[in-house]
Amino acid sequence: MIVGSGGREHCLAWKVSQSKLVDKIYCAPGNGGMSEIGECVPLESLPDLVSFAQEEKIDLTLVGPEAPLSQGIVDLFEDRSLPIIGPDQRGALLESSKIFAKNFMEKYRIPTASFETFDDYNDAVDYLKKRDTYPLVIKADGLAGGKGVYITYDVDEAIDALGELMVDLKFGNAGERVVIEDFLEGEEATMMVLWDGKSCFLLPSSQDHKRVGEGDIGPNTGGMGAYSPAPVIDEIVRGKVEKNIVHPLLEGIKKEELKYRGVIYLGIMVDKKKEPWVLEFNVRLGDPETQVVLPRINNDWLEVNLAIWEGKLSEVKFSVSDFPVLGVVLASKGYPGNYEIGKKISGLEKFPNRIDDEVLVFHAGTEKGDDGFYTAGGRVLNVCARGKTLREAKDKVYRAITEIHFENVYYRRDIGFRAIGEK
Ligand code: AMP
Ligand code: GLY
Protein backbone atom coordinates (compact mmCIF):
# COMPACT_ATOMS: atom_id res chain seq x y z
CA MET A 1 0.00 0.00 0.00
CA ILE A 2 1.21 3.46 -0.86
CA VAL A 3 -0.11 6.28 1.33
CA GLY A 4 -0.45 9.66 -0.36
CA SER A 5 -1.73 11.30 -3.53
CA GLY A 6 1.02 13.39 -5.10
CA GLY A 7 3.65 13.11 -7.81
CA ARG A 8 6.04 11.45 -5.36
CA GLU A 9 3.50 8.72 -4.64
CA HIS A 10 2.70 8.14 -8.33
CA CYS A 11 6.42 7.73 -8.93
CA LEU A 12 6.67 5.29 -5.99
CA ALA A 13 3.72 3.28 -7.35
CA TRP A 14 5.27 3.25 -10.83
CA LYS A 15 8.60 2.07 -9.45
CA VAL A 16 7.13 -0.57 -7.13
CA SER A 17 4.88 -1.89 -9.92
CA GLN A 18 8.03 -2.96 -11.79
CA SER A 19 8.94 -5.39 -9.00
CA LYS A 20 8.59 -9.11 -9.62
CA LEU A 21 7.55 -9.46 -5.98
CA VAL A 22 4.41 -7.37 -6.22
CA ASP A 23 0.93 -8.90 -6.65
CA LYS A 24 -1.28 -5.93 -5.98
CA ILE A 25 -0.83 -2.28 -5.10
CA TYR A 26 -3.33 -0.24 -3.11
CA CYS A 27 -3.09 3.54 -3.18
CA ALA A 28 -4.58 5.47 -0.29
CA PRO A 29 -6.07 7.73 -1.52
CA GLY A 30 -3.98 7.92 -4.75
CA ASN A 31 -4.64 10.07 -7.82
CA GLY A 32 -5.57 9.71 -11.49
CA GLY A 33 -2.19 8.32 -12.50
CA MET A 34 -2.02 5.93 -9.57
CA SER A 35 -5.46 4.54 -10.48
CA GLU A 36 -3.87 3.14 -13.67
CA ILE A 37 -1.35 1.17 -11.60
CA GLY A 38 -3.15 0.09 -8.46
CA GLU A 39 -6.50 0.18 -6.74
CA CYS A 40 -7.23 3.55 -5.18
CA VAL A 41 -9.05 3.40 -1.84
CA PRO A 42 -10.49 6.62 -0.39
CA LEU A 43 -8.82 6.35 3.01
CA GLU A 44 -6.91 9.06 4.86
CA SER A 45 -7.47 8.75 8.60
CA LEU A 46 -5.00 6.63 10.53
CA PRO A 47 -7.66 4.30 12.07
CA ASP A 48 -9.10 3.64 8.58
CA LEU A 49 -5.66 2.94 7.14
CA VAL A 50 -4.78 0.53 9.95
CA SER A 51 -8.09 -1.37 9.70
CA PHE A 52 -7.72 -1.63 5.94
CA ALA A 53 -4.14 -2.91 6.19
CA GLN A 54 -5.26 -5.49 8.72
CA GLU A 55 -8.26 -6.67 6.70
CA GLU A 56 -6.36 -6.86 3.41
CA LYS A 57 -3.21 -8.29 5.05
CA ILE A 58 -1.03 -5.64 3.40
CA ASP A 59 2.52 -7.01 3.23
CA LEU A 60 4.24 -3.63 3.20
CA THR A 61 3.13 0.00 3.50
CA LEU A 62 5.12 2.94 2.13
CA VAL A 63 4.20 6.42 3.31
CA GLY A 64 4.74 9.48 1.09
CA PRO A 65 3.82 12.59 3.11
CA GLU A 66 4.94 13.77 6.55
CA ALA A 67 1.50 14.23 8.12
CA PRO A 68 0.67 10.55 8.78
CA LEU A 69 4.23 9.94 10.01
CA SER A 70 4.07 12.82 12.47
CA GLN A 71 0.64 11.60 13.61
CA GLY A 72 2.14 8.20 14.44
CA ILE A 73 1.09 5.88 11.59
CA VAL A 74 4.21 3.76 12.10
CA ASP A 75 3.49 3.28 15.82
CA LEU A 76 -0.07 2.14 15.03
CA PHE A 77 1.00 -0.28 12.30
CA GLU A 78 3.84 -1.73 14.36
CA ASP A 79 1.56 -2.28 17.36
CA ARG A 80 -0.38 -4.63 15.09
CA SER A 81 2.72 -6.16 13.48
CA LEU A 82 1.88 -4.64 10.10
CA PRO A 83 5.07 -3.99 8.10
CA ILE A 84 5.59 -0.30 7.34
CA ILE A 85 8.58 1.85 6.44
CA GLY A 86 9.19 5.13 8.26
CA PRO A 87 10.05 6.60 11.65
CA ASP A 88 7.78 6.31 14.66
CA GLN A 89 6.15 9.47 15.98
CA ARG A 90 9.19 10.37 18.10
CA GLY A 91 11.55 9.88 15.16
CA ALA A 92 9.26 12.01 13.01
CA LEU A 93 9.99 14.93 15.37
CA LEU A 94 13.13 15.45 13.29
CA GLU A 95 10.73 16.99 10.75
CA SER A 96 7.65 17.93 12.79
CA SER A 97 9.56 19.99 15.39
CA LYS A 98 12.27 22.35 14.20
CA ILE A 99 13.29 22.91 17.83
CA PHE A 100 13.76 19.16 18.33
CA ALA A 101 15.77 18.99 15.09
CA LYS A 102 17.98 22.00 15.96
CA ASN A 103 18.68 20.74 19.48
CA PHE A 104 19.51 17.33 18.02
CA MET A 105 21.94 18.92 15.54
CA GLU A 106 23.58 20.95 18.30
CA LYS A 107 23.94 17.91 20.54
CA TYR A 108 25.47 15.76 17.79
CA ARG A 109 27.57 18.59 16.31
CA ILE A 110 25.91 18.55 12.91
CA PRO A 111 26.71 21.78 11.03
CA THR A 112 23.64 24.03 11.01
CA ALA A 113 22.93 27.77 11.38
CA SER A 114 23.36 29.15 14.95
CA PHE A 115 19.99 29.54 16.58
CA GLU A 116 17.88 30.47 19.58
CA THR A 117 14.44 29.09 20.42
CA PHE A 118 11.52 30.96 22.01
CA ASP A 119 8.10 30.14 23.39
CA ASP A 120 7.39 33.69 24.56
CA TYR A 121 6.66 36.50 22.08
CA ASN A 122 8.11 39.32 24.24
CA ASP A 123 11.36 37.44 24.86
CA ALA A 124 11.69 36.86 21.13
CA VAL A 125 11.06 40.56 20.36
CA ASP A 126 13.72 41.60 22.92
CA TYR A 127 16.16 39.23 21.25
CA LEU A 128 15.38 40.60 17.76
CA LYS A 129 15.95 44.17 18.96
CA LYS A 130 19.37 43.25 20.31
CA ARG A 131 20.50 41.58 17.07
CA ASP A 132 22.30 43.85 14.65
CA THR A 133 23.18 41.34 11.98
CA TYR A 134 20.40 40.73 9.50
CA PRO A 135 19.03 38.83 7.58
CA LEU A 136 17.67 36.47 10.20
CA VAL A 137 15.48 33.45 9.57
CA ILE A 138 12.38 32.91 11.70
CA LYS A 139 10.76 29.49 11.64
CA ALA A 140 7.60 28.05 13.15
CA ASP A 141 8.50 25.05 15.27
CA GLY A 142 5.74 22.84 13.90
CA LEU A 143 4.61 21.66 10.47
CA ALA A 144 3.35 24.51 8.29
CA GLY A 145 3.36 22.94 4.84
CA GLY A 146 6.74 24.51 4.04
CA LYS A 147 5.33 28.03 4.59
CA GLY A 148 6.33 28.68 8.20
CA VAL A 149 9.78 30.08 7.34
CA TYR A 150 10.42 33.83 7.06
CA ILE A 151 13.66 35.38 5.84
CA THR A 152 13.73 38.87 7.35
CA TYR A 153 16.04 41.73 6.42
CA ASP A 154 15.55 44.14 9.34
CA VAL A 155 14.12 44.23 12.83
CA ASP A 156 10.69 45.54 11.75
CA GLU A 157 10.22 42.75 9.24
CA ALA A 158 11.37 40.25 11.83
CA ILE A 159 8.90 41.50 14.45
CA ASP A 160 6.08 41.37 11.85
CA ALA A 161 6.94 37.76 11.05
CA LEU A 162 7.03 36.92 14.72
CA GLY A 163 3.59 38.51 15.15
CA GLU A 164 2.13 36.39 12.36
CA LEU A 165 3.54 33.23 13.88
CA MET A 166 3.20 33.76 17.63
CA VAL A 167 0.34 36.25 18.02
CA ASP A 168 -1.91 35.79 14.96
CA LEU A 169 -1.14 32.06 15.00
CA LYS A 170 -1.23 32.02 11.20
CA PHE A 171 -0.14 28.38 11.27
CA GLY A 172 -2.07 27.46 14.39
CA ASN A 173 -0.09 26.04 17.27
CA ALA A 174 2.82 25.27 14.87
CA GLY A 175 3.90 28.88 15.53
CA GLU A 176 3.55 28.94 19.31
CA ARG A 177 7.25 28.18 19.52
CA VAL A 178 9.83 29.51 17.07
CA VAL A 179 13.43 29.11 16.01
CA ILE A 180 15.38 32.24 15.12
CA GLU A 181 18.53 31.41 13.20
CA ASP A 182 21.35 32.95 11.22
CA PHE A 183 20.94 33.29 7.49
CA LEU A 184 23.17 30.97 5.47
CA GLU A 185 24.34 31.94 2.02
CA GLY A 186 24.96 29.40 -0.69
CA GLU A 187 23.25 26.95 -3.01
CA GLU A 188 20.65 24.47 -1.77
CA ALA A 189 20.52 20.78 -2.58
CA THR A 190 18.83 17.63 -1.38
CA MET A 191 20.41 14.40 -0.19
CA MET A 192 18.17 11.50 0.77
CA VAL A 193 19.53 8.68 2.90
CA LEU A 194 18.10 5.18 3.27
CA TRP A 195 18.54 3.78 6.78
CA ASP A 196 17.56 0.41 8.26
CA GLY A 197 18.76 1.04 11.81
CA LYS A 198 22.21 -0.42 11.09
CA SER A 199 23.47 0.74 7.73
CA CYS A 200 22.72 3.47 5.26
CA PHE A 201 22.80 4.24 1.55
CA LEU A 202 22.99 7.76 0.12
CA LEU A 203 20.63 8.19 -2.81
CA PRO A 204 21.88 10.41 -5.65
CA SER A 205 21.79 14.16 -5.02
CA SER A 206 19.07 16.41 -6.41
CA GLN A 207 17.90 20.01 -6.41
CA ASP A 208 14.39 21.37 -6.00
CA HIS A 209 13.02 24.74 -7.20
CA LYS A 210 10.71 25.93 -4.44
CA ARG A 211 9.73 29.39 -5.66
CA VAL A 212 6.85 29.76 -8.08
CA GLY A 213 8.60 32.18 -10.44
CA GLU A 214 11.47 31.87 -12.89
CA GLY A 215 14.84 32.86 -11.42
CA ASP A 216 13.57 31.72 -7.99
CA ILE A 217 11.29 34.61 -7.23
CA GLY A 218 7.81 34.84 -5.70
CA PRO A 219 6.17 32.71 -3.03
CA ASN A 220 7.33 29.28 -1.95
CA THR A 221 5.48 26.28 -3.35
CA GLY A 222 5.62 22.55 -2.79
CA GLY A 223 8.29 22.53 -5.55
CA MET A 224 8.12 23.50 -9.23
CA GLY A 225 10.74 21.13 -10.64
CA ALA A 226 13.90 19.24 -9.82
CA TYR A 227 16.84 17.45 -11.30
CA SER A 228 19.36 14.81 -10.31
CA PRO A 229 22.28 14.77 -9.84
CA ALA A 230 22.95 18.28 -8.48
CA PRO A 231 26.48 19.32 -9.58
CA VAL A 232 26.82 21.46 -6.42
CA ILE A 233 27.16 18.16 -4.53
CA ASP A 234 30.44 17.12 -6.12
CA GLU A 235 32.57 14.27 -4.76
CA ILE A 236 34.23 16.52 -2.16
CA VAL A 237 30.97 17.95 -0.86
CA ARG A 238 29.37 14.52 -0.86
CA GLY A 239 32.24 13.21 1.26
CA LYS A 240 31.68 16.06 3.73
CA VAL A 241 27.93 15.38 3.82
CA GLU A 242 28.65 11.77 4.67
CA LYS A 243 31.29 12.47 7.32
CA ASN A 244 30.01 15.69 8.93
CA ILE A 245 26.25 15.14 8.64
CA VAL A 246 25.14 11.57 7.92
CA HIS A 247 27.46 9.80 10.36
CA PRO A 248 26.70 11.98 13.41
CA LEU A 249 23.00 11.99 12.49
CA LEU A 250 22.79 8.21 12.46
CA GLU A 251 24.85 7.99 15.66
CA GLY A 252 22.40 10.41 17.25
CA ILE A 253 19.38 8.41 16.08
CA LYS A 254 20.91 5.32 17.71
CA LYS A 255 21.87 7.11 20.94
CA GLU A 256 18.46 8.74 21.30
CA GLU A 257 16.88 5.33 20.56
CA LEU A 258 14.63 6.73 17.86
CA LYS A 259 12.76 3.93 16.12
CA TYR A 260 13.67 4.83 12.60
CA ARG A 261 13.65 2.75 9.44
CA GLY A 262 13.25 4.52 6.15
CA VAL A 263 14.33 7.69 4.42
CA ILE A 264 16.00 10.73 5.95
CA TYR A 265 15.88 13.79 3.75
CA LEU A 266 18.63 16.36 4.24
CA GLY A 267 17.93 19.90 3.04
CA ILE A 268 21.46 21.22 2.58
CA MET A 269 23.04 24.61 1.97
CA VAL A 270 26.48 24.44 0.35
CA ASP A 271 28.43 27.61 1.13
CA LYS A 272 31.16 29.35 -0.90
CA LYS A 273 33.83 27.26 0.79
CA LYS A 274 31.95 24.13 -0.29
CA GLU A 275 30.94 23.34 3.27
CA PRO A 276 27.53 21.67 3.65
CA TRP A 277 25.11 22.88 6.38
CA VAL A 278 21.75 21.36 7.30
CA LEU A 279 18.73 23.62 6.73
CA GLU A 280 16.18 20.98 7.62
CA PHE A 281 15.48 17.30 8.01
CA ASN A 282 12.47 15.59 6.51
CA VAL A 283 11.53 12.07 7.50
CA ARG A 284 10.37 10.96 4.08
CA LEU A 285 11.16 11.20 0.39
CA GLY A 286 11.08 14.68 -1.13
CA ASP A 287 8.56 15.87 -3.67
CA PRO A 288 9.44 16.62 -6.53
CA GLU A 289 12.95 15.18 -5.89
CA THR A 290 11.67 11.58 -5.81
CA GLN A 291 10.36 11.91 -9.36
CA VAL A 292 13.90 12.59 -10.64
CA VAL A 293 15.84 10.32 -8.27
CA LEU A 294 13.87 7.05 -8.41
CA PRO A 295 14.04 6.77 -12.23
CA ARG A 296 17.85 6.73 -11.79
CA ILE A 297 17.82 3.75 -9.41
CA ASN A 298 18.06 0.46 -11.27
CA ASN A 299 17.16 -1.69 -8.25
CA ASP A 300 13.81 -3.27 -7.49
CA TRP A 301 12.35 -0.66 -5.09
CA LEU A 302 10.23 -3.22 -3.28
CA GLU A 303 13.31 -5.36 -2.67
CA VAL A 304 15.11 -2.28 -1.32
CA ASN A 305 12.26 -1.50 1.06
CA LEU A 306 11.93 -5.10 2.23
CA ALA A 307 15.66 -5.01 2.97
CA ILE A 308 15.12 -1.83 5.02
CA TRP A 309 12.28 -3.55 6.88
CA GLU A 310 14.44 -6.60 7.61
CA GLY A 311 17.54 -4.60 8.56
CA LYS A 312 19.45 -6.01 5.58
CA LEU A 313 20.14 -2.86 3.60
CA SER A 314 23.88 -3.64 3.64
CA GLU A 315 23.15 -6.72 1.48
CA VAL A 316 21.59 -4.67 -1.33
CA LYS A 317 23.86 -3.98 -4.32
CA PHE A 318 22.74 -0.60 -5.54
CA SER A 319 23.00 0.43 -9.16
CA VAL A 320 22.50 4.07 -10.10
CA SER A 321 22.11 5.25 -13.69
CA ASP A 322 24.66 7.82 -14.91
CA PHE A 323 21.92 9.49 -16.95
CA PRO A 324 20.64 12.66 -15.31
CA VAL A 325 16.88 13.17 -14.96
CA LEU A 326 15.11 16.53 -14.96
CA GLY A 327 11.46 17.11 -14.10
CA VAL A 328 9.15 20.10 -14.50
CA VAL A 329 5.89 20.59 -12.61
CA LEU A 330 2.85 21.61 -14.64
CA ALA A 331 0.62 23.57 -12.27
CA SER A 332 -2.76 25.27 -12.39
CA LYS A 333 -2.44 29.02 -12.99
CA GLY A 334 -2.72 30.84 -9.64
CA TYR A 335 -0.97 28.16 -7.58
CA PRO A 336 0.20 28.45 -4.75
CA GLY A 337 -2.74 30.87 -4.34
CA ASN A 338 -6.23 30.23 -5.71
CA TYR A 339 -6.67 28.22 -8.87
CA GLU A 340 -9.39 26.42 -10.82
CA ILE A 341 -9.69 22.65 -11.15
CA GLY A 342 -11.70 20.28 -13.34
CA LYS A 343 -9.85 21.10 -16.59
CA LYS A 344 -9.54 18.30 -19.15
CA ILE A 345 -5.93 17.21 -19.75
CA SER A 346 -4.96 16.19 -23.29
CA GLY A 347 -1.88 14.49 -24.73
CA LEU A 348 -1.15 12.07 -21.90
CA GLU A 349 -1.71 9.01 -24.12
CA LYS A 350 1.65 9.80 -25.79
CA PHE A 351 3.46 9.02 -22.52
CA PRO A 352 2.70 5.48 -21.31
CA ASN A 353 5.48 5.46 -18.67
CA ARG A 354 7.12 2.21 -19.83
CA ILE A 355 10.16 1.31 -17.79
CA ASP A 356 12.71 2.44 -20.39
CA ASP A 357 10.80 5.43 -21.76
CA GLU A 358 12.86 8.59 -22.00
CA VAL A 359 9.94 10.75 -20.91
CA LEU A 360 7.93 9.88 -17.81
CA VAL A 361 4.85 11.76 -16.70
CA PHE A 362 3.88 11.46 -13.04
CA HIS A 363 0.50 12.70 -11.90
CA ALA A 364 -0.06 14.85 -8.81
CA GLY A 365 -3.42 16.67 -8.67
CA THR A 366 -5.34 14.68 -11.29
CA GLU A 367 -8.52 12.66 -11.35
CA LYS A 368 -9.62 10.06 -13.85
CA GLY A 369 -12.99 10.72 -15.47
CA ASP A 370 -14.94 8.58 -17.97
CA ASP A 371 -13.23 10.21 -20.93
CA GLY A 372 -9.73 10.87 -19.58
CA PHE A 373 -7.91 12.83 -16.93
CA TYR A 374 -8.91 16.12 -15.30
CA THR A 375 -6.99 18.57 -13.13
CA ALA A 376 -7.77 18.27 -9.42
CA GLY A 377 -5.06 20.26 -7.65
CA GLY A 378 -2.47 23.04 -7.77
CA ARG A 379 0.42 20.91 -8.90
CA VAL A 380 -1.01 18.71 -11.65
CA LEU A 381 1.74 16.78 -13.47
CA ASN A 382 5.48 16.19 -13.31
CA VAL A 383 7.02 15.82 -16.74
CA CYS A 384 10.42 14.13 -16.38
CA ALA A 385 13.04 12.98 -18.87
CA ARG A 386 16.38 11.25 -18.92
CA GLY A 387 19.20 12.48 -21.13
CA LYS A 388 22.90 11.86 -21.65
CA THR A 389 23.33 15.29 -20.09
CA LEU A 390 21.07 17.52 -18.01
CA ARG A 391 20.80 19.84 -20.97
CA GLU A 392 19.49 16.99 -23.14
CA ALA A 393 17.08 15.91 -20.40
CA LYS A 394 15.81 19.48 -20.12
CA ASP A 395 15.24 19.78 -23.88
CA LYS A 396 13.28 16.52 -23.91
CA VAL A 397 11.09 17.66 -21.02
CA TYR A 398 10.21 20.99 -22.62
CA ARG A 399 9.55 19.27 -25.97
CA ALA A 400 7.21 16.79 -24.25
CA ILE A 401 5.40 19.63 -22.50
CA THR A 402 4.35 21.05 -25.86
CA GLU A 403 2.34 17.85 -26.40
CA ILE A 404 0.40 18.06 -23.13
CA HIS A 405 -2.31 20.60 -22.54
CA PHE A 406 -4.88 21.81 -20.07
CA GLU A 407 -6.52 25.21 -19.69
CA ASN A 408 -4.53 27.68 -17.58
CA VAL A 409 -1.40 25.53 -17.38
CA TYR A 410 1.57 27.26 -15.69
CA TYR A 411 5.14 26.00 -15.44
CA ARG A 412 8.62 27.41 -14.99
CA ARG A 413 10.78 27.42 -18.11
CA ASP A 414 14.09 27.59 -16.26
CA ILE A 415 14.23 24.35 -14.27
CA GLY A 416 17.88 23.33 -13.95
CA PHE A 417 19.25 26.85 -14.53
CA ARG A 418 21.85 26.60 -11.76
CA ALA A 419 23.34 23.44 -13.22
CA ILE A 420 22.93 24.22 -16.91
CA GLY A 421 23.84 27.88 -16.61
CA GLU A 422 21.05 29.37 -18.68
CA LYS A 423 17.37 30.18 -18.54
P1 AMP B 1 13.18 24.85 5.88
O2 AMP B 1 11.75 24.42 5.88
O3 AMP B 1 13.75 24.99 7.23
O4 AMP B 1 14.03 24.06 4.94
O5 AMP B 1 13.17 26.30 5.22
C6 AMP B 1 12.54 26.55 3.97
C7 AMP B 1 13.45 27.33 3.05
O8 AMP B 1 13.87 28.52 3.65
C9 AMP B 1 14.74 26.58 2.72
O10 AMP B 1 14.58 25.70 1.66
C11 AMP B 1 15.68 27.73 2.39
O12 AMP B 1 15.46 28.20 1.09
C13 AMP B 1 15.23 28.82 3.34
N14 AMP B 1 16.03 28.78 4.59
C15 AMP B 1 15.73 28.10 5.72
N16 AMP B 1 16.68 28.30 6.66
C17 AMP B 1 17.59 29.12 6.12
C18 AMP B 1 18.82 29.68 6.60
N19 AMP B 1 19.25 29.49 7.84
N20 AMP B 1 19.52 30.48 5.74
C21 AMP B 1 19.07 30.72 4.50
N22 AMP B 1 17.93 30.23 4.00
C23 AMP B 1 17.19 29.42 4.79
N1 GLY C 1 10.99 19.23 -1.94
C2 GLY C 1 10.89 19.58 -0.59
C3 GLY C 1 10.19 18.62 0.25
O4 GLY C 1 9.82 17.54 -0.17
O5 GLY C 1 9.98 18.93 1.43
Last residue of a domain, one of 315, 341, 356: 315
177 and 192 fall within a common domain: no
Tell me whether residue 202 is in a domain.
Answer: yes
CA dihedral 141, 147, 151, 155 (to 10 degrees): -70
Give the pLDDT confidence score for residue 147 in this predicted structure.
83
Domain C-terminal end among 164, 182, 200: 182
Determine whether the shortest distance from the Cβ of 268 to ligand 1 is under 6 A: no
Q: Is 113 in the pocket of ligand 1 (CB under 6 A)?
A: yes
Closest CA to 336 of 189, 190, 224: 224
Tell me whether residue 265 is in a domain: yes
- The best mutation among 112, 131, 151, 165 to test binding of ligand 1, ranked by most ligand atoms within 8 Å of the C-beta, falls on 151
- Would you say residue 108 lies in a domain? no
Is 253 inside any structural domain? yes
Residue 337 belongs to domain with CATH number? 3.90.600.10
Q: Answer yes or no: is 306 within a domain.
A: yes
Considering only CA atoms, which of 239, 259, 213 is closest in space to residue 417? Answer: 213
Which residues have C-beta atoms less than 6 Å from ligand 2? 208, 223, 282, 286-287, 289
pLDDT (0 to 100) of residue 422: 59
232 and 345 share a domain?
A: no
CATH number of the domain enclosing 42: 3.40.50.20
Instruction: Give per-residue pLDDT as tens, 342-378.
Output: 999 999 999 999 999 999 999 999 999 999 999 999 9
Q: Are residues 196 and 308 in the same domain?
A: yes
Q: Are residues 348 and 256 in the same domain?
A: no
Does residue 194 share a domain with residue 169?
no
Each residue's pLDDT tens digit, 251-262: 999 999 999 999
Please tell me the distance from the alpha carbon of residue 313 to that of residue 222, in angstroms, as a whole number: 30
Count CA atoms closer than 13 A to 295's CA, side-chain side: 35
Specify the number of domains making up the chain. Answer: 4
CATH number, domain with residue 272? 3.30.470.20
Ligand 1 atom showing the smallest separation from residue 112 Cα = 19
Q: Is residue 107 part of a domain?
A: no
Is residue 308 located within the same domain as residue 401?
no
* Residue 123 structural domain: 114-182
Which segments in the chain show pLDDT lower than 50?
A: none
